[in-house]
Amino acid sequence: MKSIELAEFEELVGSHQKMVYLYVLALVGEHFLAEDLTQETFVRAYASDPFRRGEIEHIPAWLRTTARHVVYQELRRNRRHPITFIETIGIEIDRLRMTARESNDILRDALRKCSQRLTGKARSVLEMRYGEGISAIEIGKKTGKTQTNINAILSRIRSGLRDCIKMEMEQGT
């Protein structure tokens, strides 16, 4: 039984931070908040029980659970997000993950496949919003639309992608 070294832990952080970040991002939606909470998750992980007991197989689940609790805690503290909604969604996201683990890359492949079906305009809006990180207002200025229009477009794109991915995943499984 040997205790974890900082270098080993650093390696772990490097390997898994994006996974935790994306998980947190899915919950809170905000990039900077997701980064902060990802950091907090790993800081807590360093002194965690699974690490102490060396239960490697439980580490991923534990990381995710820790992240979820970190999110809940932060949201309760700040009252900026609907915590009950997040709690409900957190459970669903975990269930989704369980499904996705059966065929690891289905979700990613489905997303790529569905993205190809988007129109050029929709893809352009998506690229600006996610790729360039431009706000809806700015996108509106560039495209001559209102912020409400852009938000509606983004909402339609996301729901369209979701339905498409859902279908793809069902076919995949």
Partner 1 sequence: MSGNTNRTDDLLSKYLDGLLSDREAQELTDLVGDDPETARDAALSLCVHASLVQELRPAESFRDLTPSIMERVRARAPRAAARRRTASFRWGVWAAVAACLAIVVGSVVYNTHQPATQPEKIVAYVEATSPKVVVTRGDRSIVAVLKMTLEPGDTIVTGSGERIVLAYQGETTRVELKEDARLTLLTGAPVEGKSLRLESGDLTASVATQSPERPMIFHTPHARALVRGTVLSISVKNTSTRLDVTEGRVEFAKTSGRASIDVTAGHYAVAKDGTDLVARPVPGADLLQQLVQRASTTRTVADMKALKDLSRAAYEAELARGEKCDLVRLVYLGVARAIARNPKEDRQTEDLRFILDRAVGEDTQADSTAAGLSTKDRKIIRDNCRRARKLAEELYYDEWAALLAPLQDKTIRRLPSLTEALLFEDGYVTFYERGLPRVAEPLLEGMKSRFGGFPATDYLARSVLPLVRIAAARNRRLEETIQFDSLQFLSGGAWEVRGDTIDSEKQHPFRSLVKKQEDTKGIYVAALPHIPFRRAVLTGQVRLRGLGDNPGMFPWRWGMTGQGALRGQGITLERAKALETDRRWTWFFILFVHREDGRWGMVRWEWLEGDQPHDLTTSKPSLPPRERSSLGAKNGGLVSYGDKSWDMTGHPRIILAAEDASVEWRALGLHIVEEGTEKEK
Residues 98-137 that bind partner 1 (CB under 8 A): 100-101, 104-105, 107-108, 111-112, 115, 126-127, 130-131, 133, 136
Cβ-based nearer residue to partner 1, 143 or 151: 151
Minimum CB distance to partner 1, residue 111 (Å):
5
Residue located via tokens 């996705």: 100
B/e letters for 39-56, b = 16+ CB within 10 Å, e = fewer, are: bbbbeebeebebbeeeee
Binding to partner 1 (CB under 8 A) within 74-103 occurs at 81-82, 84-85, 88-89, 92-93, 95-97, 100-101
Structure tokens at 43: 């800081």
Cβ-based nearer residue to partner 1, 38 or 74: 38
Binding to partner 1 (CB under 8 A) within 43-62 occurs at 43, 46-47, 51-54, 56-57, 59-60
Cβ-based nearer residue to partner 1, 25 or 72: 25
Contact 99/173 with Cβ under 8 angstroms?
A: yes
Task: Name residues whose C-beta falls within 8 Å of residue 107's C-beta, 6 or more positions apart in sequence.
Answer: 100, 165, 169
Minimum CB distance to partner 1, residue 51 (Å):
6
> Does residue 167 bind partner 1 (CB under 8 A)?
no
Minimum CB distance to partner 1, residue 144 (Å):
20
Cβ-based nearer residue to partner 1, 38 or 144: 38
**What is the distance between the alpha carbons of residues 155 and 151, in angstroms, rounded to a whole number?**
6
**What is the distance between the alpha carbons of residues 157 and 77, in angstroms, rounded to a whole number?**
32
What backbone phi and psi angles, to 5 degrees, belong to 156?
A: -65, -40
**What is the distance between the alpha carbons of residues 78 and 58, in angstroms, rounded to a whole number?**
30
Binding to partner 1 (CB under 8 A) within 15-44 occurs at 15-19, 21-23, 25-27, 29-31, 35, 38-39, 42-43
